[in-house]
Amino acid sequence: MSDFDPNLPIYIQINNSIKQAIVSGILKPGERLASVRERAEELAVNPNTVQRAYQELEREGISETRRGMGTYIVEHESLISSLKAEMAHDLLRKYIDGMQALGFSSGDITAELSGELAKPNGLSTGGKR
Amino acid sequence: MSDFDPNLPIYIQINNSIKQAIVSGILKPGERLASVRERAEELAVNPNTVQRAYQELEREGISETRRGMGTYIVEHESLISSLKAEMAHDLLRKYIDGMQALGFSSGDITAELSGELAKPNGLSTGGKR
Amino acid sequence: MSDFDPNLPIYIQINNSIKQAIVSGILKPGERLASVRERAEELAVNPNTVQRAYQELEREGISETRRGMGTYIVEHESLISSLKAEMAHDLLRKYIDGMQALGFSSGDITAELSGELAKPNGLSTGGKR
Amino acid sequence: MSDFDPNLPIYIQINNSIKQAIVSGILKPGERLASVRERAEELAVNPNTVQRAYQELEREGISETRRGMGTYIVEHESLISSLKAEMAHDLLRKYIDGMQALGFSSGDITAELSGELAKPNGLSTGGKR
DNA sequence: GTGGTCTAGACCACA
DNA sequence: GTGGTCTAGACCACA
């Protein structure tokens, strides 16, 4: 999984994937993130890049660094759930606004979604960009 | 309207907004785009940046330039409609994939959309990024 | 025939086509060229562009302007034949040098030519760019 | 070697020379190109101009860039050979079409080539444009 | 160091 | 006026 969108900074894409993992429960509050070096190797990316993603995460209050011990996801339960709501709302608005800019009505927007979800493999097409 | 997302190249954002305008009918096939210099001034951006957006557009077969006369949207009607389908599908997949990465089920995804569209001002919140 | 190579100035392409016409006998020494306006209309090009092509032609000693009468091909017979030799040599060197730069041997270069000329429609493929 | 044909965009000439180098085996698949800045200095040209040449190359599927590491020739062996065929055919058609436009017969065309190749220095006259 | 984007501004071919 | 190319040089993300 080292194919990044070249039009978006990689550190932002890494940061995002971590937030997704937290919100979806793959990473739990209090858990330790992979070390910068481990993660960099996995992603075939320079450690500086992972480092920057972790910094952003900390700035957002989602992780915290413990000297010599690594980076941990914050325990703050409500923060996680509000994060989920915020990210979902962001995705939703991007979808709705984008469709409306293309001239789709509310009915169209709902119909397109239903149609796509009804597809046999509706759950796993393409890649997230 | 000169606020660009700092995480995405400006020329891509300009290119995108033109495609939206075409698909939504604001710009019609055969019509002339604003000149590079005009548009650059409007957007408070360097002419080179607008030109790059126009170049991409031409590479995508959406516009054509007539020497000394300006840049025109191609007449090819079917191209416009396939462009609309492609852009809509892109938005849709980004929404679905994003939601699924957050752990939402198909039901949740539909419910969230309906809820948002039902809001009184459901048609014009936030900004398109 | 108004498809010009966008990477070469149009006036040079017009100038070239006139020289070809002279050398191939389509235009004869002493003959009058089409007026700037006529030619511009035929080529769907701005008169200034044709004008510039004619200027170049005169600079090369191939045509001369007679006030109020138009542009005429020079009578100088030897000039025409030397023009033919020069243009042919130019084409030839471009071909040979290009092929050699690609790593072809003299044998290859001859073989490729023979092969192409032996094709059924070997005399009229593609367009001159 | 910084003399460019003023009638052809410099970035196209640079792009061309790289393709020639690849096809003739001077540059091999997988190899790294000189950096934009290095090449710009060598050619006494602005870095932006070299970059544009590299971009075109990438668009043509001939090179790929690795973030922060440089630009590399693609490994795709067949692409190289088809590139060679395409460039040779282009040169050939330009020669044949040009000669025919001058009124030369197929016999003449072949004869001229043989004559030139038979010259003592037939392998290295003039400059490649 | 390496490529990507952007600005500021010049000059050219063409209309 | 209109797009195309080019220079000079800045700043950014990434290695």
Contact D33, D73 (CB under 8 A): yes
In this prediction, residue D1 carries a pLDDT of 47
User: Nearest protein residue to F13's C1' (by CA)?
Assistant: A9
The distance of C9 to chain B (nearest Cα, Å) reads 11
CA torsion through residues D24, D29, D31, D33, sign: positive
Q: Is strand E within 7 Å of residue D49 (CB)?
A: no
Nucleotides of F under 7 A from a protein CB: 1-10, 13-15
In this prediction, residue D71 carries a pLDDT of 97
The number of angstroms, rounded, from the C-alpha of A61 to the middle of its chain's C-alpha atoms is 15
Q: Residue D64's beta-bridge partner residues?
A: D72
Q: Which residues 69-98 on D are within 7 A of strand E at the CB atom? A: 69-71
pLDDT in tens, A87-125: 999 999 999 999 999 999 999 999 999 999 998 764 554
CA atoms within 13 A on the CB side of D119: 13
Which of C41-50, C119-128, D28-37, D60-69 shows the lowest mean pLDDT across its residues?
C119-128
Secondary structure (H, E, C), B16-61? HHHHHHHHCCCCCCCCECCCHHHHHHHHCCCHHHHHHHHHHHHHCC
Contact call for C102 and D128, based on CB within 8 A: no
Q: Is strand E within 7 Å of residue B3 (CB)?
A: no
The H or E element that residue C52 is part of is helix C47-59
In this prediction, residue D2 carries a pLDDT of 54
Q: Is strand E within 7 Å of residue C53 (CB)?
A: no
Q: Is strand F within 7 Å of residue A48 (CB)?
A: yes
* Confidence band for C125, pLDDT divided at 50, 70 and 90: very low
In this prediction, residue A122 carries a pLDDT of 46
Contact A32, A74 (CB under 8 A): no
In this prediction, residue B1 carries a pLDDT of 47
A127 burial type by CB count under 10 A (0-12 exposed, 13-18 middle, 19+ buried): exposed
In this prediction, residue D119 carries a pLDDT of 84
Kindly report the number of other CB atoms within 10 A of residue D28's CB atom: 11
pLDDT in tens, A41-58: 999 999 999 999 999 999
Residue A25 Ramachandran class (φ > 0 left, ψ -120 to 50 alpha, else beta): left
**Rounded (10°) CA dihedral C13, C15, C16, C19:** 160
For residue D67, the chain A residues in CB contact (below 8 A) are 6, 10
D67 burial type by CB count under 10 A (0-12 exposed, 13-18 middle, 19+ buried): exposed
Whole-model pTM: value is 0.88
Chains D/C: 3 or more C-beta pairs closer than 8 A? yes
Q: Which of C113, B51, C68, A116 is nearest to D94 (CA)?
A: C113
Q: How far is the CA of D63 from the C1' of F8 (A)?
A: 27
Q: How far is the CA of A126 from the C1' of E5 (A)?
A: 28
| pLDDT tens by residue, chain B, 129 residues | 458 999 999 999 999 999 999 999 999 999 999 999 999 999 999 999 999 999 999 999 999 999 899 999 999 878 889 999 999 999 999 999 999 999 999 999 999 999 999 987 645 544 444
Contact A112, A100 (CB under 8 A): no
Q: List chain D residues with pLDDT less than 50.
A: 1, 122, 125-129
Q: Residue with structure tokens 């450690």?
A: A47
- Asked whether residue A129 carries a pLDDT value surpassing 60, the answer given is no
User: Nearest protein residue to F2's C1' (by CA)?
Assistant: B68
Q: Which residues contact A117 (CB under 8 A, 6 or more apart)?
A: A123, B96, B106, B109, B110
| Window 19-58 of C, Cβ < 8 Å to B | 46
Q: Which residues 5-34 on C are within 7 A of strand E at the CB atom? A: 9-11
Nearest residue of B to residue A117, measured between CA atoms? B106
Say if C82 is an interface residue toward chain B (CB within 8 Å): no
Q: How far is the CA of C127 from the C1' of E7 (A)?
A: 40
In this prediction, residue B2 carries a pLDDT of 55
Torsion angles phi and psi, residue A95, rounded to 5? -65, -55
In this prediction, residue B129 carries a pLDDT of 41
DSSP annotation of D3 reads -
In this prediction, residue D121 carries a pLDDT of 63
Looking at every residue in chain C, the average pLDDT score rounds to 90
Say if A87 is an interface residue toward chain B (CB within 8 Å): yes
In this prediction, residue C120 carries a pLDDT of 76
Task: Give all strands (DSSP E) within chain A, no chain letters.
Answer: 63-66, 70-73
pLDDT in tens, C7-24: 999 999 999 999 999 999
SS3 state at D25: coil
Looking at every residue in chain D, the average pLDDT score rounds to 91
Task: Give all strands (DSSP E) within C57-118, no chain letters.
Answer: 63-66, 70-73
